[in-house]
């Protein structure tokens, strides 16, 4: 550099805020953005997210954790007046076990939480990406479901706390775009699976795997003929990032296009785990959708996205993860029982 010349300004690292970043999908998104050399602020209150999910990101250049409840006024105050390029809203209970246990909180994060995240994005001039869900289609009367389908949702049923929270979040996002010029996008995510799923969160795949590992019959609702499409988490992340990089407002479907019956998923789990416990058929939950498969033509055409991970490959990785979680849980229980031995009774060595 010649004498007197100004040093070139360092290029600013792009900054993403991921609300719900310690959850299953959110933690994978945080990791993917860090690999892109972006700065990432993960916002989570750990009501359903897990600190272990983001432990590997601690200390990574550009990673920051803000522990906050998105519903609370001022939850994102620490991020005001900072350079932000994109805000992802993934904060919400997502498994039936969580949203049925916390119905009011689920509705609050879909309403007040969405307002707070939208306000942050707009004040920063950032792109906003809402992680919505295929549940907005309810028990669909259109198959496969196109992104312009309005859905068939029971607004007062037990699942409505999640369905309507997401539908309201979509309405808010669209209203901010129309009335305030916000740069927004909506992704409707279908059944997603992969490592970091909580073993006992009530969703289909981890429930089947944990029952198989415990030698229990797999509980299949109804006659098992209802269908689901499943998408490996890495593919979903690629779709979310592609949507953030685009100008597409959505809604856009992100999900697997292979349609599987619930009984088929259960039998695949039995075969891969080597379990011989069989299947136990139980009653269908209220408002359980009969068919679920996305039409992904919009994502393919506008984003160049399609799922790449086959069910055969993804389910093996997921089972390995859940099996490791189960083994760790059993070891911890054994240590706890040994440590609780009565006085005078030596704990057995493992």
> What residues are annotated to the active site?
162
User: Cα separation of 96 and 240, whole Å?
Assistant: 23
Parallel, antiparallel or unpaired: strands 184-189 and 127-133: parallel
- The SS3 of residue 2 is coil
SS3 (DSSP) at 347: coil
Cα separation, 261 vs 266, in Å, equals 9
Burial 45-59 (b: 16+ CB within 10 A, else e): bebbbeeebbeebee
CB atoms within 10 A of CB 169: 26
328 vs 124, 186, 333, 334, CA distance in Å? 43, 37, 9, 10
Residue 32 CA to residue 194 CA, distance in Å, equals 15
Report the SS3 class of residue 262. Answer: helix
CA 278/CA 285 separation, integer angstroms: 21
């Amino acid at each position: 550099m010649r004498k007197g010349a100004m040093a070139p300004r360092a290029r600013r690292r792009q900054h993403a805020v991921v609300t719900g970043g310690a959850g299953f999908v959110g933690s994978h998104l945080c990791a993917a953005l860090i690999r892109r050399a972006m700065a990432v602020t993960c916002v989570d209150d750990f009501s359903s997210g897990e600190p272990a999910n983001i432990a590997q990101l601690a200390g990574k250049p550009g990673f920051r954790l803000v522990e906050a409840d998105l519903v609370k006024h001022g939850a994102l105050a620490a991020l005001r007046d900072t350079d932000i390029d994109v805000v992802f809203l993934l904060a919400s209970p997502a498994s039936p076990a969580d949203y049925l246990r916390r119905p009011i909180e689920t509705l609050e994060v879909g309403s007040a939480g969405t307002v707070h995240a939208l306000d942050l994005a707009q004040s920063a001039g950032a792109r906003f990406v809402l992680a919505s869900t295929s549940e907005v289609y309810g028990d669909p009367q259109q198959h496969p479901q196109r992104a312009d389908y309005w859905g068939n949702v029971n607004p007062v049923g037990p699942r409505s706390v999640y369905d309507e929270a997401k539908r309201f979040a979509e309405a808010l996002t669209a209203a901010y775009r129309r009335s305030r010029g916000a740069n927004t996008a909506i992704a409707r995510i279908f059944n997603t699976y992969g490592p970091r799923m909580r073993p006992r969160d009530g969703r289909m795949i981890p429930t089947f795997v944990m029952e198989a590992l415990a030698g229990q019959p797999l509980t299949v609702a109804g006659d098992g003929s209802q269908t689901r499409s499943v998408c490996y988490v890495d593919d979903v992340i690629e779709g979310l990032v592609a949507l953030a990089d685009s100008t597409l407002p959505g809604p856009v479907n992100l999900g697997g296009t292979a349609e599987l019956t619930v009984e088929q998923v259960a039998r695949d789990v039995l075969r891969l785990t080597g379990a011989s416990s069989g299947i136990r058929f139980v009653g269908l939950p209220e408002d359980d959708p009969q068919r679920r498969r996305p039409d992904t033509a919009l994502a393919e055409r506008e984003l160049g996205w399609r799922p790449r991970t086959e069910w055969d490959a993804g389910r093996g990785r997921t089972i390995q993860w859940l099996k490791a979680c189960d083994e760790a849980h059993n070891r911890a229980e054994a240590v706890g029982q040994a440590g609780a031995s009565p006085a005078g009774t030596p704990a057995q060595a493992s």
